[in-house]
Amino acid sequence: MVEFDAPSQRLVEQRLRNRLIEALQLAASFEHQKKLDETVNAVNETINLWEDTDPVSWDWEFPTVYSTDEVAAVQTFHDVWASANARLPDEQFPILAAVQSRAEWLELRDAAVSALDVFRIRGVLPEDREV
């Protein structure tokens, strides 16, 4: 049996930050959403992926792997995401093309692009060592 050392809290936070960037990339790219929609419902995946990675909704302090600007970008995106999520039709499997033309989805995309601009300053963090 192979034994692995448990990653440090810092390393886990770096990995979660990278997953958050991936969630923003999905929200920011209609093309990425269309490709994803070939295998899963991209609307649900976009909404749910943010829910899974969003530190605003965590019940512990905001991780220190985020810069002050990144924290502000995440909070701004979260607010737009929450508004868009509340305004989307209550369908279990919404059709992507119809959703992508809605104002709230365009706002979500624009907010994701803005947040990614902030995250690109430092980029993705290593997943195998602390920084």
Distance CA(55)–CA(102), nearest Å, equals 26
| Pair 89, 40: CB distance under 8 Å | no
Distance CA(50)–CA(40), nearest Å, equals 16
Residue 67, phi then psi, degrees to nearest 5: -75, 170
Give percent of the chain above pLDDT 70.
Answer: 97
Closest CA to 45 of 56, 57, 33: 33
Contacts of 99 (CB under 8 A, 6+ apart): 43, 88, 105
Kindly report the pTM of this predicted structure: 0.91
| Pair 21, 73: CB distance under 8 Å | no
The residue behind tokens 């991780």 is 63
Give the pLDDT band (50/70/90) at residue 59: low
Tens of pLDDT, residue by residue over 103-124, are 999 999 999 999 999 999 999 9
Instruction: Please tell me the predicted confidence (pLDDT) of residue 68.
Output: 93
Distance CA(122)–CA(87), nearest Å, equals 33
Instruction: Please tell me the predicted confidence (pLDDT) of residue 62.
Output: 74
Half-sphere exposure of 83 (CA within 13 A, CB side): 15
